[in-house]
Amino acid sequence: MRTLPFTLKLPFGDRPLEWDNYIVRTLSSMQGQYFDQAAYSSLLAADDQLLYEVYEILVPKVEGELLHGVSIVHPGKVGNEYFMTKGHFHDVLETGEVYYCMRGTGMMVMETPEGDSQVLGMSAGEVLYVPPRWAHRSVNTNATEDLVMFFIYPGNAGHNYGTIEQKGFRKLVVEQDGQPTIIDNPRWQNAS
């Protein structure tokens, strides 16, 4: 079936007025992802709080179509590590993705299967390009504001979460001396 042209209302700096699919991710969906496991367990015991939301505009998940929507990562930390998305490779590895930061400040943690690694800052008004082969995770480094981003990627990309769930990313973004700081993930090497 062919998609007909359509428009999407994005009130500046916030979620779309209409969407097809709404995803919420709470602390319990991030088992094993945060470095400070003790901090994770005690936060989770207190409250399975909301980490991020995704509003998707669905088009057919086939080559040529472009999936898009808005993600909102809320402010907060687990221990010293900021709230973040699960992160993923695309099933079709040779797939790029564009993010437009509408509100807030954060970092995109990225890496390739070959071991390249990059963490880029993002702030409102900036476009960030994730090239083919790069896994990506959004991190909200702002203490009080949401990180709101519009994203767009090929319809046939699919998502591979398993690799990141097992290995994590090579880099972590943590708060040190009150500043967002990129460090090596000490647990990455232990992964299979």
Q: Which residues form the interface with ligand F6R (CB under 6 A)?
A: 25, 54, 71, 85-88, 97, 136, 138, 151, 153
- C-alpha distances in angstroms, 63 versus 5, 56, 129, 130, 172? 17, 17, 19, 18, 33
Kindly state the smallest distance separating residue 177's Cβ from ligand F6R, in Å. Answer: 28
Sheet of 135-140: strand order equals: 117-123, 105-111, 135-140
Kindly state the smallest distance separating residue 17's Cβ from ligand F6R, in Å. Answer: 18
Q: Choosing among ligand F6R, Zn ion, none, which partner's interface includes residue 85 (Cβ < 5 to 8 Å by kind)?
A: ligand F6R
Q: Choosing among Zn ion, ligand F6R, none, which partner's interface includes residue 138 (Cβ < 5 to 8 Å by kind)?
A: ligand F6R
Q: Which of residues 63-102 bind Zn ion (CB under 5 A)?
A: 97
Q: Choosing among Zn ion, ligand F6R, none, which partner's interface includes residue 54 (Cβ < 5 to 8 Å by kind)?
A: ligand F6R
Of 53, 93, 81, 70, which is closest to residue 139 (Cα–Cα)?
A: 81
Which residues, 6 or more positions from 168, have their beta carbon under 8 angstroms from its beta carbon? 33, 185, 187, 188, 191
- Identify which of residues 77 and 90 has a Cβ nearer to Zn ion in the complex: 90
Answer whether 108's CB lies under 8 Å from 171's CB: no
Give me 142's structure tokens.
């702002």
Report the alpha-carbon distance of residue 24 to residue 16 in Å, rounded: 15
Kindly state the smallest distance separating residue 97's Cβ from Zn ion, in Å. Answer: 5
DSSP, residue by residue, 161-188: -HHHHHH--SEEEEEETTEEEEEE-TTT
- Identify which of residues 34 and 151 has a Cβ nearer to ligand F6R in the complex: 151
Cα radius of gyration rounded to whole Å, the chain? 16
Kindly state the smallest distance separating residue 31's Cβ from Zn ion, in Å. Answer: 21
Q: Which of residues 126-155 bind Zn ion (CB under 5 A)?
A: none
Kindly state the smallest distance separating residue 151's Cβ from Zn ion, in Å. Answer: 7
Q: Choosing among Zn ion, ligand F6R, none, which partner's interface includes residue 105 (Cβ < 5 to 8 Å by kind)?
A: none
Binding site for Zn ion (CB under 5 A): 97
